[in-house]
Amino acid sequence: MKPNFSLRLRIFNLNCWGIPYLSKHRGDRVKRLGDFLNMESFDLALLEEVWSEQDFQYLRQKLLPTYPASHYFRSGVIGSGLCVFSKHPIQEITQHVYTLNGYPYMIHHGDWFCGKAVGLLVLHLSGLVLNVYVTHLHAEYNRQKDIYLAHRVAQAWELAQFIHHTSKKADVVLLCGDLNLHPKDLGCRLLKEWTGLHDAYLETRDFKGSEEGCTMVPENCYVNQRELQPFPFGIRIDYVLYKAVSGFYISCKTLRTTTGRDPHSGTPLSDHEALMATLCVRHSPPQHTPSPTHGGPAERSRLISVLKEAWAELDLGMAQARWWATFAGYVIGLGLLLLALLCALAAGGGVREVAIMLWAPSVGLLLGAGAVYLFHMQEAKGLSRARAELQHMLGRAREAHDLDPESQAALFLGQQEGDRSEEQ
């Protein structure tokens, strides 16, 4: 590889809002999306919420001359909704389905049935190994009473861990997708601090698009305006994140977003805004790239703080899951007692008809409570596993922070200043 090596990557990301029978103008929007992608000829197009595999097959055929490599990530009952189109050959593909993904009885939200996941594809470009991740985390629905917060934090941690463990041979790491996280949300901070990924919107010097980089804006006719009332400019929940290992430097040359309408026809491609980034990779002088647990004192302090926050949130979620499992356990006990009473009444013959009529509802109640118990026990174990991992990494980060000479010097100076103030 030449010392003056340079590589330019054009990236497209969009949550397509492609729910069959429910999303407005889905067929027309998919057609226009295909036309737009062929016209722009990006290196990579990463899409979320392509819930219909027929839509993917349509796009695959339409984009085949421009994007010969493609993949649809299948999971769950409905599917992950994730797919990717690439101008370059894809060397490896895998995916990881998140352990926790909402509640099956919240049918109107539907996230549990989707099997939210993170997809990984490995590309070899000009001697570089590029790991590309595409994901879609659980939706928020209600910011004031967010019952899915623990699940989304657990997903963010799983995503960070998946990237951490699968990108060790990569030269460049790229993550795109709908994280359903505002920039200062706990899950977003946890993901960035642990992986060291950089936010294209914050890093680029050439941005054009919606106000504050928002990816759901009031100007979009498909957006629920009532949900955006607290946010006059909209919200930023879709991201292009990246990093390079030691020996390489990556920067975001330009970042563009749509602004509530299609760049050519005027009507939106989706209820989300598209992200279009131009990334540049080049050689940099050899330097040590610190790992999350071995950065400088400031980095370790931020990491410790966000790990503690995440641990506390998962602890709350675990307590709630155990409460529901305990409640369901009591219902199971009452259901068994009721069934025993009904059997006794039926055997006695006194109110046999009534007992037989109540038998089916009692069995239904027992089976329903059993399903709720099993689900919330599984949820508690999933949260407990994530919390245990966070606890371990928090301990390692604290050890590294305590052993750091600069931290000890700062602590000593702080103690000296405290002693002086006491003397005065």
Do the Cβ atoms of 157 and 387 come closer than 8 Å?
Answer: no
Q: Which two tokens stand for residue 108?
A: 């109107």
Q: Which of 136, 272, 376, 401 does the annotation list as catalytic?
A: 272
pLDDT band of 343, cuts 50, 70, 90: confident
Looking at residue 416, its pLDDT comes to 44
* Bridge partners, residue 235, by sequence: 216
In this predicted structure, which of 100-114, 277-291, 295-309, 334-348 has the lowest mean pLDDT? 277-291
Q: pLDDT at residue 406 above 70?
A: no
Q: 232 by DSSP, 3-state: which?
A: coil
Do the Cβ atoms of 37 and 56 come closer than 8 Å?
Answer: no
Rounded CA-CA distance 381/46 in Å is: 32
Torsions phi, psi of 352, nearest 5? -60, -45
Rounded CA-CA distance 181/364 in Å is: 38
Q: Is 108 a catalytic residue?
A: no
Q: pLDDT at residue 347 above 90?
A: no
Q: Give me the count of residues in the chain.
A: 424
Looking at residue 351, its pLDDT comes to 66
Burial (0-12, 13-18, 19+ Cβ within 10 Å), 229: exposed
325 sits in which H/E element: helix 297-348
Q: Which two tokens stand for residue 102?
A: 């909402």
- The dihedral built from the CA positions of residue 13, 17, 18 and 24, taken in this order, carries a sign that is negative
The arithmetic mean of pLDDT across residues 416-422, rounded, is 46
In this predicted structure, which of 109-118, 124-133, 373-382, 412-421 has the lowest mean pLDDT? 412-421
Closest to 184 measured CA to CA, from 95, 306, 298: 306
Closest to 322 measured CA to CA, from 367, 384, 274: 384
pLDDT band of 286, cuts 50, 70, 90: low
Distance of CA 243 to the CA centre of its chain: 17
Do the Cβ atoms of 136 and 175 come closer than 8 Å?
Answer: no
Q: 79 by DSSP, 3-state: which?
A: coil
Query: DSSP string of 40-71?
Result: H--SEEEEEEE--HHHHHHHHHHHTTT--EEE
Mean predicted lDDT score pLDDT of the chain: 89
Task: List, for residues 48-85, the tens digit of each pLDDT value.
Answer: 999 999 999 999 999 999 999 999 999 988 889 999 99
Residues above pLDDT 90, as percent of the chain: 71
Do the Cβ atoms of 81 and 48 come closer than 8 Å?
Answer: yes
Alpha carbon dihedral 147, 151, 154, 159, in 10-degree steps, equals -130
Q: What separation, in Å, do the N-terminal and C-terminal C-alpha atoms of the chain show?
A: 64
Q: 143 by DSSP, 3-state: which?
A: coil
Task: List, for residues 167-211, the tens digit of each pLDDT value.
Answer: 999 999 999 999 999 999 999 999 999 999 999 999 999 999 999
Q: pLDDT at residue 412 above 50?
A: no
Q: pLDDT at residue 293 above 50?
A: no
